[in-house]
Chains A and B, each alone.
Chain A
Amino acid sequence: KAGVTQTPRYLIKTRGQQVTLSCSPISGHRSVSWYQQTPGQGLQFLFEYFSETQRNKGNFPGRFSGRQFSNSRSEMNVSTLELGDSALYLCASSTEGPYEQYFGPGTRLTVT
């Protein structure tokens, strides 16, 4: 079974721009969660989607948004990028929360 895939793997953006990241979960997994990982803050939960519905949201500003499609693929969008948004963005999927979830390789975003 193929694992979680994320695209792109690396991104360099300028302050003020917006970015869209994509995640394809493991086949059969309907729950997709997004995380931001930075050296200072560790792994921070952004949001979780199940069957196209956002069920949980972390403490991030409204510039961070996401969605899930009917095939369970998910995207997250960050608008008006700030330098502090530079991080590794990780997507994880599970059959159903809160059971075991598996991470993709991540997207490394650098904001200059």
Chain B
Amino acid sequence: RKEVEQDPGPFNVPEGATVAFNCTYSNSASQSFFWYRQDCRKEPKLLMSVYSSGNEDGRFTAQLNRASQYISLLIRDSKLSDSATYLCVVNIGAGGFKTIFGAGTRLFVKA
């Protein structure tokens, strides 16, 4: 079982739609959680950190469920420019921690 698992998609949605991605993690020592976005053949860019109480940044909302060991990303009012691959990232442990990247979920937003 992979330490971080995501549905690879692709998710095909029309502009203006709301779309949600889930990510599950298996290591109970996971400490910190992030969503990154990666455009085709570009570097991953930090989209947002995920906090225990949930957090929002404009049209993006991230949630963490420690009991069930998953995080989610909700995108409201999708734009064409949201088309990208979304990576779930987990930092495991403290001190000498390690970072695990999910394989990503592809999103296509269509006009």
Our verdict on whether A and B bind, yes or no, reads no
Hey, which bits of chain B sit against chain A, CB under 8 A?
Answer: none
Hey, which bits of chain A sit against chain B, CB under 8 A?
Answer: none
